[in-house]
Every structure is written in C-alpha cells, then in structure tokens.
Amino acid sequence: MSTPRSRPLALVTGASSGIGTAYAERLARDGYDVVLVARRRERLEVLAQRLRVAAGAQAEVLTADLADAGGLARVETRVAGDPPVTLLVNNAGFGGYRPFVEVEPKVIDALIDIHIRTVARLNRAALPGMVHRGSGGVINVASLLALSGALPPNPLPHRAVYAGAKAFMLTFTQVLAGELAGTGVKVQVCLPGVVATEFHTVQGMDMSKRPRMTAEDLVAGSLASWARGEIICIPALEDASLMDRSVAAQTEVARTAAFSPALASRYRSGG
Ligand SMILES: NC(=O)c1ccc[n+]([C@@H]2O[C@H](COP(=O)([O-])OP(=O)(O)OC[C@H]3O[C@@H](n4cnc5c(N)ncnc54)[C@H](OP(=O)(O)O)[C@@H]3O)[C@@H](O)[C@H]2O)c1
C-alpha cells in the first residue's frame, strides 16, 4: 500500500494531444494528480512537467500503444493498481475514415481495439476498486457520430467502424450506469461534435473552416455534466430534452419489442 495522497488521481488516455491534453490540464488545475497515457513519450513528458510547475500536480507518464495487447495490459495494471485511480478518462482514439469497402483490415482491428476493447477492459480494471471504495468513476469519450447511423456519408465522413465503435461506448456506458446505481460510482459518456484538435488533420482532413468547439470548452462541458451526475453529456446540445426524448423513444422500442413473442403484423402476410 502506498501512503495516502491528499489529491485524487486521474488517469487520462490520449493525453498527448487535443481533448486528452485539455482533460489533463483542467483536472490538474482542479486538484487532481494525473497519469498521462499515449504513445508519444516526449509530448507526455512536456505536459507532465507543465502540470507539475503550473498546477502543483504529481504527473506520471505511462507510454503505451492501447491497440497492442502488451500496452493495454500495462495500462490495465496501473488503472487497477495503487495509489488508486479516482477518475479514469477513456479518451484515446482516431478516426480511420474511409469507404468501408476500402478500409484496411488492420485499421478495422485498431479501431475496434482502441474504441471497444480498450474501453471495456480499462472500465473493467477500474470499476471493482471504485465500487469497493464507493466513489470515483469513468468518463468515456465517444462522439456524436454514435448517433449518426441514419445519416449519409456526405457531408459526414465514411465512418462505419468508427461510428459503430462509438455507439458501443454509448450503450456500454448507459448499461454500466444502470449496474452501478447506488454504488457511489459514476460513469459518463461524452459525445463531442467537431472539436479543434489534431483528430482530423492526422487523417488528412482540413476542418479549419468549419465551426469547431475548443477542447477546453468540451472538457468544461464534460466536467460540469459530471458534477450534475449526467450519464450522457452532449456539450454542444442546447436543448437537453432532445436527447432525453431520443433515449425515451429508444427505450420504448426496446421495452415494447424485446419480450414480445408475436411477429409484428406487417411481417405476417408473407410479404
Ligand atoms: N476532435 C473531434 O472532432 C472529435 C469529435 C468527437 C469525438 N472525438 C474523440 O475524442 C477523442 C480524442 O480525440 P482528439 O480530438 O483529442 O484527437 P487527437 O488530437 O488526434 O488526439 C488523439 C489522442 O489519442 C491518442 N492515441 C491514438 N491512438 C492511440 C493508441 N493506439 N494508443 C495510445 N494512444 C493513442 C493520441 O496519442 P499518441 O498518438 O501519442 O499515441 C492522442 O493523444 C477520441 O476518442 C476521438 O474519437 C474527437
């Protein structure tokens, strides 16, 4: 057992850039110590030093490729280890946008590894200790593209695997929230729209002419939502009742049909 620390500890994946850097900076300012995870060590070291000096935070660098089994295992060990992680932010990700029939199989694997396997496994590593302590929680950074299944690829990108993986994060977090009710542990799924980071430039897209939220505003929204105890955070959605109605409609569909043994009448005539 390590000596108890006075500051809570947050572990942020994808901390070397964009939204992850903004979470780390804001959480350090809010009084957290941080573990910074990504592949690019130099960037993490620079950020860690900045947080030590500017926010008085203890900042630990953990380089890992989360699409690699060994890298994921090292982060799992840290997430489940001591001193305990109070807040896990599952944020690392990339887009891999391309017409589905042209996507390289290894890109499909990496998208599933980082947005599905990593998210599920790091939640699994973090939550038992949190439930035992009766506090803490996890923020899973998904995307509004989780809701984009019925929208065409123009002007949105070709994104079947990415959007499907982000939809996993949405349903996964909603179901977890139900399981965790009454434990004192919280989970949030955050659904950003377009945010000004390297996310689009790394895949050769220029979004600089589009209106984009700043990563700092996105994080401010996510953490305000966290304080309010919301499960789904859509930082740019002014009328929150719109999402409430969408969730209610989905719930109604599932409730109505899930345990109904009868085939719907429109399918009974034999077409
Ligand atoms: N920007 C947007 O418009 C937008 C919108 C909706 C959702 N999002 C989501 O927001 C999250 C953060 O994206 P961002 O906008 O901040 O993009 P970004 O600036 O490109 O940052 C992505 C981060 O993920 C890390 N990462 C990527 N692959 C990794 C791997 N295999 N192992 C470990 N770390 C990895 C990168 O670090 P290294 O390269 O150093 O490993 C980097 O720190 C992503 O999950 C993304 O899907 C972004």
So where are the chain's domains? 9-267
SS3 of 95-110: the string is: CCCCCHHHCCHHHHHH
Per-position pLDDT tens, the chain of length 271: 555 578 999 999 999 999 999 999 999 999 999 999 999 999 999 999 999 999 999 999 999 999 999 999 999 999 999 999 999 999 999 999 999 999 999 999 999 999 999 999 999 999 999 999 999 999 999 999 999 999 998 888 999 999 999 999 999 999 999 999 999 999 999 999 999 999 999 999 999 999 999 999 999 999 999 999 999 999 999 999 999 999 999 999 999 999 999 999 999 986 5
Query: Which residue's C-alpha comes closest to atom 8 of ligand 1?
Result: 143
Q: How far is the CA of 132 from the centre of ligand 1 (A)?
A: 30
Catalytic residue at 97?
A: no
63 within 8 A of 41, measured Cβ to Cβ: yes
CATH architecture of 9-267: 3-Layer(aba) Sandwich (3.40)
| Measured distance CA(124)–CA(162) in Å, rounded | 22
User: Which residue in 164, 149, 61 sits closest to 108, CA to CA?
Assistant: 164
Probe ligand 1: pick from 12, 39, 207, 234, max atoms within 8 Å of CB? 39
Any atom of ligand 1 within 6 Å of the Cβ of 143 = yes
| Measured distance CA(242)–CA(231) in Å, rounded | 15
Any atom of ligand 1 within 6 Å of the Cβ of 65 = yes
pLDDT in tens, 57-78: 999 999 999 999 999 999 999 9
- What is the reported pLDDT for 3? 54
> In angstroms, what CA-CA distances link 47 with 61, 103, 188?
9, 33, 25
pLDDT in tens, 197-210: 999 999 999 999 99
**What six digits make up the tokens of 86?**
């109070």
